């Protein structure tokens, strides 16, 4: 955020609580002091108007960065995001551009319940005109946000995951790409199965891949899809050509989701690419429960994920591969600090 | 040099009459199905647009609604491109992708018009924020109907503008109707006095056919906005002559009376000032005919256009 504000003097940050002492998990802390209250400011609890104000500000020369401390609140802005921002360029025959960045934080962790934990990538990616990313690494946050603020002339929705703010990350995992907003990344190479993952599921998948490699010599290729709206399809197809097996691990529900979408174009491309059934992994098809015992069942965890991968790779549900004894992701992230 | 009163009147009369005749042309063409876009006509409401826009320059930005033919013309948009847009031709102001409801021309500051009621009001607020931050010398105007003030986003937007002390003008065209619902069946408040609750000074103008008065009041309001840097609101009573959408009249449908219509028309200079009509009509007819010819001759959008300008 700081770098964008330094490099792009038209950038402004507007959102509920961006200037408070917590500063959106620290990501906007101290920026009002540094850049002044014309450029970094708190807004009324008026999500629709605030989004519209961002659109208007963008149309008249600013680069607005907007935040929602829980992605769920952006549902109040759907009219502006879907009916207006996504259509401004097309509906007016290309005479307007609405470059802006909307950051949504997925609030998942213990007890967040049904309205503080949703992951809206498939909803937003459905609409032509929007660019939707789910960064899972500081490298892609930096490259994507700088590209968005300096070069990209369209609205971008970035879905950040709360559990990742406190983690440490290894450098150099991510390749440099010319347009990070339309990119996907191979983050682990392998031969036995292609696993396409979103957001925190990239980290989970890497942990499962590490476990399966050590305990059973299974070699997973892990792809961080990163751009849900504009994934690098060829990169994913090429990986499947090599491994011939496909799993998609997403942070949201499976119906009409990222997994369904990846399967759609794999099937449309060539239905003979896979030699095993594809597998989609996501949350249970229910609103998120608050009770921890239920929440632990609701989300995939290292145990279920490793089991799913082993099933697909071996083609056998009695694969006999030892599974990690870890059934609650929330517990892990409370103490786990990486690096990955 | 300030214009003399009669030149003022003539200019405003001509623009208003141009809007009226252009829309009457739309009505005439409509049965041919050449205009394939729902039209929300401004007939009866022209004076609001001409009076407001007479106080603006091209760099001032106006955000409107689906009922924006009048503003497009009054703001200085090209008639040829407008007619081509209504025909869905590639030479239209928006390449045929906008039609009647999304007319826009950035080169004259005619910004988005949206079919979702009230949805461009916050855009005007945002544009005013940008204008202030970037020290642009421009005025931002939000135009909307009385129905739009039912919407939450209207209230959110005027609060935002007042809170941030944004110099801008809100204009409510009050025709007393949202489709067929009258204002008294929808609202527990009075639009102009209610804005004061948010710290926004307002003015109510009851004779919305009087373009000279609208221009004068707008101009004074703009001066006040510029001098104290705060938003203001103008509520202007007006009268929609046609049905909500489409080219017809609907005084026999039982929800409003034709006597109110006759009463309003009896004060409407575009009906009564026969002398000015005679003076301007030949030039206006020619301009409109040119626009029709241009639209007729223009090509349809090419196939590639379907997937152009998405991102
Ligand atoms: C959000 C939304 N709700 C409902 C509609 C349907 N609708 C179209 S125009 C209209 C009336 C709006 O009235 P007003 O704002 O007074 O404008 P007018 O048509 O009188 O110019 C309605 C309800 C819509 N387009 N958008
Ligand atoms: Mg109305």
Same domain, A109 and A38: yes
pLDDT in the model for residue A182: 98
Give the closest residue to B94 by CA, choosing from A88, A95, A85: A95
Distance B172 CA to ligand 1 centre (A): 13
Give the closest residue to B98 by CA, choosing from B88, B111, B107: B88
B69 lines ligand 1 (CB under 6 A): no
User: How many structural domains does chain A have?
Assistant: 2
| In-domain check, residue A284 | yes
Same domain, A83 and A112: yes
* Percentage of the residues of chain A whose pLDDT score is greater than 70: 98
User: Residue written as tokens 């407008």?
Assistant: B82
Same domain, A145 and A88: yes
| In-domain check, residue A250 | yes
Q: Which long-range contacts (CB under 8 A, 24 or more apart) does A291-300 make?
A: A292/A110, A292/A111, A292/A328, A292/A330, A295/A110, A295/A111, A295/A330, A296/A327, A296/A328, A296/A330, A299/A108, A299/A329, A299/A330, A300/A201, A300/A204, A300/A249, A300/A329
Domain extent listing, chain B: 7-298
User: Residue written as tokens 């004259």?
Assistant: B108
Expressed as residue numbers, the domain containing A21 is 2-164
Beta strands B181-182 and B177-178 are antiparallel
**pTM assigned to the model:** 0.95
Q: Among B126, B170, B304, B306, which would you mutate to test the A interface (most chain A Cβ atoms within 10 Å of its Cβ)?
A: B126
Same domain, A299 and A188: yes
Interface pTM (ipTM) of the complex? 0.95
Are the Cβ atoms of A62 and B130 closer than 8 angstroms?
A: yes
Same domain, A221 and A122: no
* Alpha helices for B92-151 (secondary structure H): 121-133
Same domain, A150 and A208: no
> Is the CATH number 3.40.50.970 carried by domain B7-298?
yes
Between A66 and A111, residue with greater pLDDT = A66
Distances (CA, A) of B60 to A60, A185, B53, B107, B142: 11, 45, 9, 10, 11
Do residues B239 and B266 lie in contact, with contact meaning Cβ atoms separated by under 8 Å? no
Are the Cβ atoms of A44 and B123 closer than 8 angstroms?
A: no
A-chain CB neighbours of B160 within 8 Å are 43-44, 46, 49-50, 53
Q: How far apart are CA B212 and CA A58, in angstroms?
A: 34
Do residues A228 and A132 lie in contact, with contact meaning Cβ atoms separated by under 8 Å? yes
Q: How confident is the model at residue A150 (pLDDT cuts 50, 70, 90)?
A: very high
* Residue in A with minimal Cα distance to B117: A79
pLDDT in the model for residue B4: 56
Q: What is the mean pLDDT of residues B204-227?
A: 97
pLDDT in the model for residue A339: 41
The domain boundary residue, chosen from A164, A190, A205: A164
Q: How confident is the model at residue A146 (pLDDT cuts 50, 70, 90)?
A: very high
Give the closest residue to A184 by CA, choosing from A172, A175, A194, A171: A175
Same domain, A317 and A190: yes
Same domain, A68 and A188: no
A179 Cβ under 8 Å from any chain B Cβ: no
Same domain, A158 and A29: yes
First to last CA, chain B: 46
For the CA of B117, the closest atom of ligand 1 is 26
The domain boundary residue, chosen from A103, A132, A164: A164
Distance B293 CA to ligand 2 centre (A): 33
As given in the structure block, the two tokens for residue A306 are 């490793």
Q: How many CB pairs under 8 A join A and B?
A: 148
The mean predicted confidence, pLDDT, of chain A is: 94
pLDDT in the model for residue A333: 73
Partner-chain residue, chosen from A38, A79, A96, that has the shortest CB–CB distance to B133: A38
pLDDT in the model for residue A172: 77
Torsion sign, CA atoms B77, B79, B82, B84: negative
* Residue in B with minimal Cα distance to A76: B153
| In-domain check, residue A33 | yes
Give the closest residue to A210 by CA, choosing from A288, A293, A309, A126: A309
Q: What is the mean pLDDT of residues A193-209?
A: 97
CA dihedral B247, B249, B254, B256 (to 10 degrees): 100
Are the Cβ atoms of B128 and A39 closer than 8 angstroms?
A: no
B-chain CB neighbours of A151 within 8 Å are none
The domain boundary residue, chosen from A164, A195, A220: A164
Q: What is the mean pLDDT of residues B31-51?
A: 96
B175 lines ligand 1 (CB under 6 A): yes
**CATH value at residue A281:** 3.40.50.920
Are the Cβ atoms of B124 and A131 closer than 8 angstroms?
A: no
Q: What is the mean pLDDT of residues A6-23?
A: 93
Do residues A279 and A220 lie in contact, with contact meaning Cβ atoms separated by under 8 Å? no
| In-domain check, residue A174 | no
Q: How confident is the model at residue B5 (pLDDT cuts 50, 70, 90)?
A: low
Give the closest residue to B245 by CA, choosing from B40, B45, B64, B70: B40
B67 lines ligand 1 (CB under 6 A): yes
pLDDT at B15 over 60: yes
Do residues B176 and B149 lie in contact, with contact meaning Cβ atoms separated by under 8 Å? no
Q: How far apart are CA B1 and CA A84, in angstroms?
A: 42
Same domain, A152 and A199: no
Read off the pLDDT of residues B253-273 as tens digits, 9 standing for 90 and up. 999 999 999 999 999 999 999
| In-domain check, residue A46 | yes
Read off the pLDDT of residues B210-221 as tens digits, 9 standing for 90 and up. 999 999 999 999
Distances (CA, A) of B205 to B183, B212, B224: 17, 12, 17
Distances (CA, A) of B284 to A244, B16, B42, B288: 70, 11, 17, 6
As given in the structure block, the two tokens for residue B305 are 């256009």
Same domain, A150 and A66: yes
As given in the structure block, the two tokens for residue B203 are 């003015």
Same domain, A152 and A245: no
B-chain CB neighbours of A38 within 8 Å are 132-133
């Amino acid at each position: 955020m700081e770098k964008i504000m330094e490099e792009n003097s038209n950038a402004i940050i507007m959102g509920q609580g961006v200037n408070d002492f917590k500063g959106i998990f620290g990501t906007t802390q101290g920026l009002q002091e540094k850049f002044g209250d014309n450029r970094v400011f708190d807004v009324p609890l008026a999500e629709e108007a605030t989004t519209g104000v961002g659109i208007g500000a963008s149309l008249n020369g600013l680069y607005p960065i907007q935040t929602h401390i829980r992605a769920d609140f952006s549902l109040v802005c759907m009219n502006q995001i879907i009916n207006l921002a996504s259509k401004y360029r097309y509906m007016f025959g290309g005479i307007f551009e609405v470059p802006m960045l909307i950051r949504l934080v997925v609030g998942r962790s213990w007890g967040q319940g049904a309205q503080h934990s949703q992951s809206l990538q498939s909803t937003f990616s459905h609409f032509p005109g929007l660019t939707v990313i789910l960064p899972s690494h500081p490298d892609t946050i930096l490259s994507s946000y700088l590209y968005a603020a300096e070069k990209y002339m369209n609205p971008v929705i970035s879905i950040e995951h709360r559990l990742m703010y406190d983690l440490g990350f290894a450098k150099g995992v991510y390749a440099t790409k010319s347009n990070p907003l339309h990119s996907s990344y191979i983050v682990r190479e392998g031969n036995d199965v292609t696993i396409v993952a979103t957001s925190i599921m990239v980290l989970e998948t890497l942990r499962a891949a590490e476990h399966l490699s050590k305990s059973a010599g299974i070699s997973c290729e892990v792809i961080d899809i990163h751009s849900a709206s504009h994934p690098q399809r060829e990169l994913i197809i090429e990986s499947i050509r090599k491994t011939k097996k496909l799993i998609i691990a997403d942070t949201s529900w499976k119906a009409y989701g990222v997994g369904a979408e990846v399967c759609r174009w794999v099937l449309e491309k060539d239905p003979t690419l896979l030699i095993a059934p594809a597998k989609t992994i996501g949350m249970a098809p229910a609103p998120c429960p608050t009770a921890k015992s239920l929440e632990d069942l609701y989300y995939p965890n290292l145990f279920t994920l490793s089991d799913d991968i082993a099933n697909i790779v071996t083609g056998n549900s009695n694969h006999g591969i030892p599974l990690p004894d870890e059934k609650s992701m929330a517990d892990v992230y409370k103490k786990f600090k990486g690096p990955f | 040099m300030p214009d003399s009163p009669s030149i003022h009147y003539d200019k405003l009369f001509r623009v208003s009459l141009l809007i009226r005749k252009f829309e009457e042309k739309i009505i005439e063409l409509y049965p041919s199905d050449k205009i394939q876009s729902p039209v929300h006509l401004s007939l009866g409401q022209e004076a609001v647009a001409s009076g407001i826009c007479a106080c603006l320059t091209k760099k001032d930005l106006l955000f409107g609604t689906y009922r924006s033919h009048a503003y497009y013309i009054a703001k200085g948009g090209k008639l040829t491109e407008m007619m081509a847009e209504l025909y869905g031709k590639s030479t239209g102001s928006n390449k045929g992708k906008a039609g009647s409801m999304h007319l826009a021309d950035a080169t004259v500051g005619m910004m988005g018009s949206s079919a979702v009621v009230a949805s461009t009001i916050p855009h005007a607020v945002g544009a005013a924020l940008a204008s202030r931050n970037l020290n642009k010398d421009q005025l931002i105007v939000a135009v909307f109907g009385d129905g739009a003030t039912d919407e939450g986003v209207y209230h959110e937007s005027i609060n935002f503008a007042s809170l941030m002390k944004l110099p801008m003008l809100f204009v409510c065209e009050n025709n007393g109707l949202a489709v067929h619902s009258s204002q008294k069946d929808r609202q527990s408040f009075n639009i102009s006095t209610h804005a004061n609750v948010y710290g926004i000074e307002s003015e109510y103008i009851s004779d919305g056919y009087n373009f000279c008065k609208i221009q004068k009041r707008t101009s004074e309001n703009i001066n006040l906005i510029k001098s104290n840097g705060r938003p203001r609101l103008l509520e202007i009573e007006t009268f929609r002559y046609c049905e909500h959408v489409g080219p017809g009249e609907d005084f026999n449908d039982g929800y409003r009376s034709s006597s109110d219509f006759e009463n309003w028309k009896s004060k409407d200079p575009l009906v009564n000032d026969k002398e000015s009509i005679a003076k301007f009509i030949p030039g206006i007819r020619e301009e409109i005919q040119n626009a029709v010819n241009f639209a007729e001759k223009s090509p349809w959008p090419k196939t590639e256009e379907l997937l152009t300008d998405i991102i």
